[in-house]
Amino acid sequence: MEDSGKKYKIFIDGTFIDASSKEVIDVINPATSELFGQVPSCSPEDVKKAICSCKAAQEKWRKTPAFERGNYLKKIAKEINNNVDILALTIAKEQGKTLKQARGETLCAAELLEYHAEWARRIEGEIIPSDDENENILLYREPIGVVACILPWNFPLYVLARKLGPALITGNTVVLKPSSDTPCSALEFAKILEKIELPKGVVNVITGKGSVTGKEISENPNVGFVTVTGSVSTGQKIMQSCATNITKVSLELGGKAPAIIMDDADVDLAVAAITGSRVSNAGQVCSCVERVYVQKGVAELFLKKITTAMEAVTYGNGVEKPDSVMGCLINHEAVNTVHAMVKKAIEQGAKLLTGGEIPKIRGAFYPPTVLANCSNQMEIMREEIFGPVLPIMVFETVDQALELANDCKFGLTSTLYTKNYNTVLKFSNDIQFGELYINRKQSEAYQGFHAGWKQSGIGGDDGKHGMEEYLKTRVVYMKY
Ligand code: NAD
């Protein structure tokens, strides 16, 4: 067992307490396969307790001026920065990303909360002209009430901040449920809430299995909004649970982002951005490039350069070997799933250019892998891989590229490399994805709007539009 294999408690009503359930979840460091920590597997009773605490705190929090709520967010952000070492180490050990990436995630989480604090003086209602004389129509914007944030394991702290910031600034109270793979960082984060003396019950953190704890949260009648980031199958289950009470739901689900490289593209830029995207977090990012379409005239050059770039990516235990570019996958099951997809693609005619073998080292590692000769019928071009594997297909015309990119059940992010104005406009108008990056790397801005089309989800995160998801309206007709 690692020295930090400690037992965590849940955070309810401003205090760390034992869960009523004695069942625990082991958190394994995927880079070493050793036990890292243990958290409670919360029962429905624990869930009810957390939600009661949120409900009791909400009215006072709603009436706290938004400016003061923003000050709490700033305090939390400051303490995240002060505790970056412990938070980053916790993320790296429970999730397997490199310490450098975990530090980056932690600092971005703080910056994101600062961004949301800035909304304090900008959440406004509206005055609507009436059809009648002597009448005012006012539209108020109100918090929804109790918000449940159900989190994935790939960016445990960043996604936590992405949901917590807008939920709190708009006056909601929050129950956080981290993934059972990465719950320790959320409970380390809760120590910050205790330290800054956030009013009791404004944020509760409970841990447990999705099928028990998560389900109970989504079915609870006192929860007004469930916002989840996770897989499509989980999104479907949560939607069904939310149907019980017609609870509002926001689903940030999977992606299968295409990158299109035209003959006139800056190939070096595309190679650097796509490599960075595909190996970031070991390829376990909803928005990272999952498939590449390269135009015939530049295909040979691109394939040569991308293979060299992917081969140069170092990987290893990102805590012990901090210079590694890439860490490991979330667990061995994920390695086996990724490898099975690669083997199937090769059987179907894909050509392996690099990688493709599970390395004989400790931990859940998979090498950067490039597959050429792929086609849109292959599973590897249609289903989320969630690993550092790049399948590539050659195309001839702009229309063909657009059709191939859109031929997909997901619709989260997409990328285009070209210098041609007409191609840029065509894609901007007709791509069926919530985001299109042109001649840049694949990453969204705090002030943008990260929202998927098709099976990638409902609703969205970030920016003004993401923040407004956490509000409801009341229209008052005032006759005099
Ligand atoms: P997951 O679906 O396994 O779990 C997500 C969360 O849902 C976890 O906290 C889990 O415990 C909970 N959960 C599972 N079943 C539940 C149920 N029946 N009721 C309530 N809660 C339940 O997802 P994951 O494996 O942690 O994350 C990876 C997935 O997330 C990938 O598909 C990735 O593309 C997606 N993702 C999407 C975005 C986005 O912004 N669209 C961002 C990051 C990750």
Query: HEC profile for 42-86?
Result: CCHHHHHHHHHHHHHHHHHHHHCCHHHHHHHHHHHHHHHHHCHHH
Q: How far is the C-alpha of 18 from the C-alpha of 25, rounded, in Å?
A: 14
In DSSP terms, 45 is beta-bridged to none
Tokens 């807008």, located at residue:
166
Q: Any alpha helices (H) in 280-385, and if so which ranges? A: 296-311, 332-347, 379-382
For residue 135, give both structure tokens: 């009448």
- For 415, left (φ over 0), alpha (ψ -120 to 50), or beta? beta
Single out the residue of 62, 164, 185 nearest to residue 113, CA to CA: 164
Counting ligand 1 atoms within 8 A of each CB, the residue from 182, 229, 456 with the most, and so the one to mutate, is 229
Please identify, by atom number, the ligand 1 atom nearest to the C-alpha of residue 456. Answer: 41
pLDDT at 190: 98
What are the structural domains of the chain? 6-253+456-479 (3.40.605.10), 257-445 (3.40.309.10)
Residue 445 phi/psi, 5-degree rounding, is -100, 150
Counting ligand 1 atoms within 8 A of each CB, the residue from 41, 94, 154, 177 with the most, and so the one to mutate, is 154
Residue 231, ligand 1, Cβ within 6 A: yes
pLDDT at 1: 43
> Which residue type occupies 400?
Q
Residue 151, ligand 1, Cβ within 6 A: yes
> Which residue type occupies 127?
I
Q: Active-site residue numbers?
A: 252, 286
Residue 229, ligand 1, Cβ within 6 A: yes
Per-residue pLDDT of the chain (480 residues; tens, 9 = 90+): 444 578 999 999 999 999 998 999 999 999 999 999 999 999 999 999 999 999 999 999 999 999 999 999 999 999 999 999 999 999 999 999 999 999 999 999 999 999 999 999 999 999 999 999 999 999 999 999 999 999 999 999 999 999 999 999 999 999 999 999 999 999 999 999 999 999 999 999 999 999 999 999 999 999 999 999 999 999 999 999 999 999 999 999 999 999 999 999 999 999 999 999 999 999 999 999 999 999 999 999 999 999 999 999 999 999 999 889 999 999 999 999 999 999 999 999 999 999 999 999 999 999 999 999 999 999 999 999 999 999 999 999 999 999 999 999 999 999 999 999 999 999 999 999 999 999 999 999 999 999 999 999 999 999 999 999 999 999 999 999
Residue whose CA lies nearest to ligand 1 atom number 9: 179
Single out the residue of 34, 20, 328, 389 nearest to residue 153, CA to CA: 328
Q: What is the whole-number distance in angstroms between the Cα of residue 95 and the centre of ligand 1?
A: 14
Quote the longest CA-to-CA distance of the chain.
79
What torsion do the CA atoms of 92, 95, 96, 100 make, to the nearest 10 degrees? Answer: -30
Determine contact, residues 202/168, Cβ cutoff 8 Å. Answer: yes
Segment 396-422, tens digit of pLDDT: 999 999 999 999 999 999 999 999 999
pLDDT at 425: 98
pLDDT at 322: 83
Residue 387, ligand 1, Cβ within 6 A: no
Segment 278-325, tens digit of pLDDT: 999 999 999 999 999 999 999 999 999 999 999 999 999 999 998 899
Q: What is the whole-number distance in angstroms between the Cα of residue 231 and the centre of ligand 1?
A: 4
Residue 328 phi/psi, 5-degree rounding, is -110, 180
Cα within 13 Å of Cα(114), Cβ side: 11
Please identify, by atom number, the ligand 1 atom nearest to the C-alpha of residue 461. Answer: 40
pLDDT at 275: 98
